[in-house]
Amino acid sequence: AEAQLYAKVANKHRGRSSSALLEPLLAKGFPAHIAQKALVATGQKTTEDAVKWLHSHCNDPSLDDPIPQEYALYLCPTGRLHSRLQDFWKESKRQCGKNRAHEVFPHITLCDFFTCEDQKVELLYDILKRVGDSFSQSFPPSISLTLHASPSYLGFFIDDSQANVFKSFAAAFASEASALADCHVKPSLKQFHLTLAHRFYPHHQKTLEQLAKCINPGEPCQWVAALYSRDMRFVYYQTLRALFQYKPQNIDELMINAGDLIYVNPAQQSDVSEGWVIGTSHRTGCRGFLPENYTERAHEADTWVKHREYVFDTASRSSPKEPNVKLNGEAHNLSMSRSVTNVLSLQNAALRRAVLVMRHGERVDQVFGKSWLQQCLTADGKYYRADLNFPSSLPRQKDSMKQFECDPPLSCCGIFQSRLIGEALLDQEVTVSYVYSSPALRCVQTAQHILQGLKLNPKVRIRVEPGLFEWTKWEASRAIPNFMTMAELLEASYNIDTSYRTHLSLSSLVPSESYEDYVSRSSAVIKHITSACPSKGKGVILIVGHGSSLASLTRALAGLPSRDSGDFAQMVRKIPSLGMCFCEEQKEENKWQMVNPPVKTLTHGANTAFDWRNTILED
């Protein structure tokens, strides 16, 4: 694909632009083609922006590449209608999760993406203004929007008579761009529409429709025809946003600043070490490895560049009549319509319970390897603390201490992490009413220290549920670990609810169970837990489990289909210690929805072992 891109542009004639922005760059000694590339990459705003881009891309290996940008022409709303649409974007994402529409801002596509050589982009600006002027008087004073919904699409469709004006405008722009700027531009031939949601789960359709009905399409709005560009090399990549600065420790690592956007090709990640991704920086053009937990998913359009826009001034021709919004042809008067914010307040009042599913804290073998116990035993078999991140002591077991090899405890950092999460929940005034834990010691300890941070120990007791143990296929020993008994946990001062009757017994756990059996077990357990906690009582049900618990429990609770087993394993690898998912129950529909957790995630770097003799005294 890359070779084809180069072939398209290799024999193109490079003209010389007379841009007033270009001359200062040439005077500074930048080659013409690189200066033009910098201007296009920054939307031809100012010379200062282009110079800043050039300095950032001084080590960009693709700086001399002749590949042009791709451009698209969109009709975009502004003003109060745009604000209402953004409210819908935000609330639909909170209640129903991200769908395809969230990748791009609200728009109607006039001309889909096409390429244009850097030195001819200014011609597009002139064409946009000229065609806009010729259609300014025929542009509709207001646009009639009809809301259409299906199990996978929700959006406003444009009235045919008005859509014909838009099609003529797009066709005129495409014709002139093709003739004058040597671009192959195709005007949109589909029915003109403004997408609100796309490729969402069918059971979210009703919620999305309710939110969409609160958008008044007759809100004051000025429409603009805007020209955007994107880097055609990264069209099918994922976009990540850096949350923190990262300074490379090795030559093949990528320098990133907070807020940087990173292009990542999912197909290139299979051979990358766990916890790392390889990507290309949008800011610098450099490529390298970076820690995945320093990033979050960004939107596709976050890297796009806005070049020019034509504003259709219809204010003087607008009529003040009260608009109606139509849902699949049925009119609904919106003179008393509520905003999305009002809907949210009503829905919040209907919330009853919530479920917070969390992975355990850092375990000792995660830091010191599977042979961690050998590092901590004296010749006579007694435990001692070989590193400050080992726990100060181990709880007593009637059998050999070797049981801890298959059921490891938290590290000291894991204990600190757990208590910190509890304190954060307390700060957010989260009311935890019930606590469930996997029988694994690290999960019980995590639950115990979260309760201490919440200052709920011993008010709320831990219900140990064997059915919450992780997928047994992942057990290295190919056997179910010998977990600490209830009596041993109580003797070690863990706050266990001895009156709790488990849904599954320890003996019912099957070694090396199939993925289907694990998903079925998780679904049955989460149903048991939510049924056992009174629906009339408000508060959070805290479940401390494993990385696999976050998907297997919450997707079953929210009614989402289970992942493919291969995708599931890749997903679990990305879940850090104390990673969490949060589900809220809606009273009116008696269903659960995944929303943002009540507290932020916990991110920290590695701290390796240090031997001063081998470091300081080394020649």
As a whole number, mean pLDDT of residues 305-314 equals 90
Q: How many angstroms separate the CA atoms of 54 and 21, rounded?
A: 14
Which pLDDT does position 61 carry in this prediction? 94
Which pLDDT does position 315 carry in this prediction? 58
Count of C-beta atoms within a 10 Å radius of residue 147: 22
Q: How many angstroms separate the CA atoms of 298 and 303, rounded?
A: 9
pLDDT at 537 over 80: no
Burial 480-495 (b: 16+ CB within 10 A, else e): bbebbeeebbeebebb
| Residues ≥6 apart with Cβ < 8 Å to 74 | 107, 108, 109, 110, 225, 226, 228
CATH class in words for 69-232: alpha beta
Active-site pick, 193, 283, 353, 360: 360
| Strand order across the 287-291 sheet | 287-291, 276-281, 261-264, 238-242, 295-297
pLDDT at 337 over 60: no
pLDDT at 417 over 90: yes
One of 3.30.70.920, 3.20.20.370, 3.40.50.1240, 3.40.640.10 is the CATH number of 354-363+410-595, namely 3.40.50.1240
Instruction: Output DSSP code: residue 447.
Output: H
Record the tokens describing residue 204, joined without a space.
């979210």
Q: Respond yes or no: is residue 299 known to be catalytic.
A: no
Q: Is 368 exposed, middle or buried (0-12, 13-18, 19+ CB in 10 A)?
A: buried
Q: Respond yes or no: is residue 13 known to be catalytic.
A: no
| Region at 559 (left for phi over 0; alpha for psi -120 to 50; beta for the rest) | left
Q: Respond yes or no: is residue 360 known to be catalytic.
A: yes
What is the domain partition of the chain in residue ranges?
21-57, 69-232, 238-301, 354-363+410-595
Contact between residue 125 and residue 307 where contact means Cβ atoms under 8 Å apart: yes
As a whole number, mean pLDDT of residues 8-36 equals 72
Active-site pick, 308, 449, 521, 546: 546
Active-site pick, 102, 308, 359, 442: 359
Q: Which is it for the CA torsion 591, 595, 597, 598, positive or negative?
A: negative
One of 3.30.420.10, 2.30.30.40, 3.30.70.360, 1.10.340.30 is the CATH number of 238-301, namely 2.30.30.40
Which pLDDT does position 590 carry in this prediction? 63
pLDDT at 12 over 80: no
pLDDT at 249 over 80: yes
Record the tokens describing residue 90, joined without a space.
């935000």
Q: How many angstroms separate the CA atoms of 225 and 218, rounded?
A: 19
Model confidence pLDDT, tens digit, residues 150-209: 988 999 999 988 999 999 999 999 999 999 999 999 999 888 999 999 998 888 898 999
- pTM, 2 dp: 0.61
Listed residue (243, 196, 229, 223) closest to 301, CA to CA:
229
Say which range, 155-164, 323-332, 602-611, has the weakest mean pLDDT. 323-332
- Higher pLDDT residue, 538 or 297? 297
Which H, E and C letters describe 43-85, residue by residue? CCCCHHHHHHHHHHCCCCCCCCCCCCEEEEEEEEECHHHHHHH
Instruction: Kindly state the helix (H) or strand (E) to which residue 556 belongs, with its residue range.
Output: helix 547-557
